[in-house]
Chains A and B, each alone.
Chain A
Amino acid sequence: NAGVTQTPKFQVLKTGQSMTLQCAQDMNHNSMYWYRQDPGMGLRLIYYSASEGTTDKGEVPNGYNVSRLNKREFSLRLESAAPSQTSVYFCASSAILSGGGADTQYFGPGTRLTVL
């Protein structure tokens, strides 16, 4: 039981390059999330997927796209990377609480992205 896995762990891009961050969970969770974390800014939600086949924008979606490939996998794509996207990216998944709402979130180890 690996929990939430993310690849790659580290990445350096040049401005304008594209890349996809991969995330997978093996806990049969319905909901998955992508966050970015910057010093002094806390965790900011980029996109989330409440269930397979749905995606919604979070607080900071500009410059990103997502794909919920199946129940296990949720990828984040940067089409044209910018230095402002230098950050640590976390994927998370959760079940739904009885009565609604997000249950405990399980986080991956993070991807450290630098855009030069």
Chain B
Amino acid sequence: SQKIEQNSEALNIQEGKTATLTCNYTNYSPAYLQWYRQDPGRGPVFLLLIRENEKEKRKERLKVTFDTTLKQSLFHVTASQPADSATYLCALGSLSGNTPLVFGKGTRLSVIA
């Protein structure tokens, strides 16, 4: 069965450093991958989408990579700030029919001042 793993439940990092979150998957060949941010008590909010033929996508201080050989996506937050503290979810998507996204369990990032 399809399996998505986000490297850890929680990641603590010092302000100013780069946070790297990992999303690994098995038994799946996604056409694209999305990353979401979720703050406590709120619904997830979309951040970035990367397709299988794209190696890297950037948005401000965020960078996502997608390696279909390693079956892995990396999500980087550069020059991290306490306001970046949240749970980050990866989601895999297929182009076949109307298949819904498959979400990972998320990684809770805490940026310490």
Q: A42-B103, A43-B103 are in contact. Are A104 and B95 (CB under 8 A)?
A: no
Q: A42-B105, A42-B106, A109-B43 are in contact. Are A102 and B96 (CB under 8 A)?
A: no
A31 to B34, CA, bound (A): 17
Which of A42, A51, A104, A109 is the one whose CB lies under 8 Å from B98?
A: A51
Residue numbers in B under 8 Å from A58 (CB-CB): 100
Interface residues of A in 72-116 (CB under 8 A from B): 90, 92, 96-97, 99-102, 104-110
Chain A residues touching B, range: 20 to 34
Does A50 reach chain B (CB closer than 8 Å)? yes
Q: Mark B99-112, 1 if CB is under 8 A from A, else 0.
A: 11101111000000
Closest to A106 in B: B46
How many A-B contacts at CB < 8 Å in the complex?
A: 65
> Complex formed: what's the CA distance from A101 to B33 in Å?
11
* A13 proximal to B (CB < 8 A): no
Distance A58 CA – B105 CA, assembled complex (angstroms): 16
Q: Give the top 7 A-B pairs by smallest Cβ distance, nearest first.
A: A107-B43, A42-B105, A50-B98, A100-B95, A104-B46, A43-B103, A101-B95
Chain B residues with CB under 8 Å of chain A are: 9, 31-32, 34, 36, 41-46, 49, 89, 91, 93-101, 103-106
